Amino acid sequence: MKKKDVILISVVLVIALISFGILKFMQKDGKEVIVTMNGKMVYTTDLREDQVYKIPVKDGENVMEISDGKVRMKKADCPDQICKHHRAIEKSGETIVCLPHKVVIEISSDTKEQELDGITR
């Protein structure tokens, strides 16, 4: 290894740790679960409502499960099975991605109710 190698590695790790810290700092308790396919929202629900939801994927299957305020991909028939391995998510900003099926499950800290409150007020 050369000196420049060490500098490069340190710079990358420092950038990673700082951005990691910023993301963690901005994280709040999750309230809403949003499911998107091809960038379009197909389903949204409350994180506190335990349920099993079958995502309407063409030629495939993705089933998401919400229990105890956590979301996970319960079933998936995608070739890589990466989404199924993701740990359950619960904080705002966290996502589970299924690249082959172009599905993203994300958690937001806002809820529909808050938005509605804002409008009625």
Partner 1 sequence: MTKRVAADGLFISLSLVVSYIEVMLPIPLGIPGVKIGLANAVIMVLLFFSTWQRALGISVLRIVLAGFLFGNPMTIVYSLAGGVLSLFVMVILKKMEEFSAVGISVGGGVAHNLGQLTVAVLLMENAKIYYYAPVLLITGTIAGIAIGALTGVLIKKMPKQLF
Binding flag, residue 80, partner 1 (CB under 8 A) = yes
Cβ neighbours, 10 Å, residue 51? 12
- Give the interface segment with Zn ion, choosing from 13-21, 46-54, 63-71, 97-105 (CB under 5 A): 97-105
Binding flag, residue 83, Zn ion (CB under 5 A) = yes
Binding flag, residue 29, partner 1 (CB under 8 A) = no
Instruction: Kindly tell me which of 61 and 117 has the beta carbon lying closer to partner 1.
Output: 61
Alpha-carbon gap, residue 6 to 28, rounded angstroms? 35
Alpha-carbon gap, residue 51 to 71, rounded angstroms? 10
Provide the 3-class DSSP secondary structure of residue 50: coil
Per-residue burial over 67-94, b if 16 or more Cβ lie within 10 Å, else e, is eebbbbbeebebeeeebbebeebbebeb
- Give the interface segment with partner 1, choosing from 32-40, 47-55, 61-69, 109-117 (CB under 8 A): 32-40
Binding flag, residue 20, partner 1 (CB under 8 A) = yes
> What residues line the site for partner 1 (CB under 8 A)?
1-2, 4-5, 8-9, 12-13, 15-17, 19-20, 23, 36, 38-40, 79-87, 93-97, 99-100, 102, 104, 106
